[in-house]
Amino acid sequence: MPIKRKPNLSATIALLPTWFVAVVVFIGTMAWSIRLSFTNSTLFPSSTYVGFAQYSKLFSSAKWLASLQNVLIFGVLYVAGCLLLGFLLAAALDRKIRFESAFRTIFLYPYAMSFVVTGLIWQWMLNPTLGIQASVRSLGWESFVLDWVVNRDMAIYALVLAGVWQGAGLVMVIALAGMRGIEGEQWKAARIDGIPVWRIYVSIVLPQLGPALAAAGMLLAMGVIKTYDIVVAMTNGGPGNATEVPAKFIMDNLFGRQNLGLATAGATVLVLGVIIAVAPFRYAMHMRDRAKGAA
């Protein structure tokens, strides 16, 4: 039974700045932005209410639609790529490998670096005139093509490549920690039954890593919606609209094009997107906790 306590004054006062941030900064500014999205604000905020006009303008903008499509492609491939590569690396390192900590260090170091740095490194590697393409061609393979950053159809995959390079180590660390927590008894039993190692990883280890991998996936997915730096550093949205993303669209209209109404409408859509993505997950957790409480 929870103990009834007297509300403690010091504790309440200590939390006041945080209350201020939560209510005024988070909720207040969000409400302000949402309000602006229903006005015809351009450079300065206006109070002329225009209903959903900014939203219809937004969804008739080719650039916005392209950016939604791009972030979807990038997000799915980036999260899936990180999860897959990270899991494979963890499983390999879990096999009593020599130099394990050296390998672990190598796989994780990109995660310590910023997206700007990551974007610039890969821009350099994928530069068609001086990068990998030129190097391979000079070895004699004249028709070799790796021009992703300047190729309209491939630029988004260049971002995925750089993103996976940066983020796979995170999944590896989380998965490896999870694997080390699995009891040796299960391994022994499975080995006695003669189940091949890969099968043990797929059927016994993977399901137990579910929650940890889901958390890692969530973390990566939250980053996807915020994707901005890596695009600015690597392709700046180009070629054409090939790598435009919503976060960049919003920033451009907010500070570059002075199109407040449109930018805040875009931001509101992003927030709705997050709520729609997170709500079922939170609801499932809530129901699970309730079920646990009832049992």
Site for other proteins in 212-241 (CB under 8 A): 212, 215-216, 218-219, 222, 225-226, 228-229, 232-233, 236
How many CA atoms lie within 13 Å of 22's alpha carbon, on the beta-carbon side?
5
Q: What is the footprint of other proteins within residues 84-113 (CB under 8 A)?
A: 85, 88-89, 92-93, 95-97, 101, 103-113
Min dist. Cβ of residue 256 to other proteins (A): 11
Min dist. Cβ of residue 70 to other proteins (A): 16
Q: Which one of 55-63, 70-78, 121-129, 284-292 is the stretch in contact with other proteins (CB under 8 A)?
A: 121-129
In degrees, to the nearest 5, what angle opens at C-alpha 130 toward C-alphas 127 and 136? 95
Q: DSSP string covering 180-213, please? A: HTS-HHHHHHHHHTT--HHHHIIIIIHHHHHHHH
Q: For residue 210, state whether it binds other proteins (rule: CB under 8 A).
A: no
Residue 239: cis peptide before it, omega within 30 degrees of 0: yes
For other proteins, give the closer residue by CB, 68 or 232. Answer: 232
State the residue for tokens 């504790």: 11
Min dist. Cβ of residue 36 to other proteins (A): 7
**Which candidate, 169, 166, 135, 170, places its Cα nearest to that of 234?**
166
Q: How far is CA 227 from CA 108, 159, 221, in A?
A: 20, 10, 10
State the residue for tokens 């006005």: 39
> Partners of 208 in the beta sheet?
none
d(CA 274, CA 147) in angstroms, rounded, equals: 33
Interface mask toward other proteins for 176-205; x: CB under 8 A:
-x-------------------x--------
Interface mask toward other proteins for 40-59; x: CB under 8 A:
-----x--------------
d(CA 74, CA 69) in angstroms, rounded, equals: 9
Chosen residue from 30, 53, 195, 206 binding other proteins by CB under 8 A = 30
Q: For residue 254, state whether it binds other proteins (rule: CB under 8 A).
A: yes
Q: For residue 150, state whether it binds other proteins (rule: CB under 8 A).
A: no
Q: For residue 33, state whether it binds other proteins (rule: CB under 8 A).
A: yes
Chosen residue from 68, 71, 83, 125 binding other proteins by CB under 8 A = 125
For other proteins, give the closer residue by CB, 138 or 203. Answer: 138
Min dist. Cβ of residue 219 to other proteins (A): 5
For other proteins, give the closer residue by CB, 109 or 283. Answer: 109
Residue 68: CB atoms within 10 A of its CB come to 20
State the residue for tokens 């998965």: 175
